[in-house]
Amino acid sequence: MQNLLHDIKCIELPLIMTQVRINLILMIIGTLQAYGEILVVLGDTGGPQGVAMVPGLYMFRNAFVEGYAGKACAIGLLLFVFILILTEINNRYVRVEK
């Protein structure tokens, strides 16, 4: 049993860390930019009292429903910077040794 845990820790985990890192980044981006499913199911208001208002849906609502293209552009830029920061944090903590 101890040998199995050692093999998993020293052999298997380092081999899959690249995939774990990529999946974490894609999960962060997908979660923050999700709006399609919410738009279809709950409409452009984000459900009752906006309980499902994610940044992507808020940006969409400002751009196409309310007509505030500048505000939507600013939200998109802030979303980009926030995702960039989270990706950098992920890259620092999920190390991949070659």
Task: List the one residue out of 77, 28, 33 whose CA is nearest residue 58.
Answer: 33
Average pLDDT over residues 91-96: 82
Query: Which tens digit of pLDDT belongs to each residue from 16-69?
Result: 888 988 999 999 888 888 888 889 999 888 889 989 899 999 999 999 999 999
Query: Which tens digit of pLDDT belongs to each residue from 68-83?
Result: 999 999 999 999 999 9
Average pLDDT over residues 79-88: 93
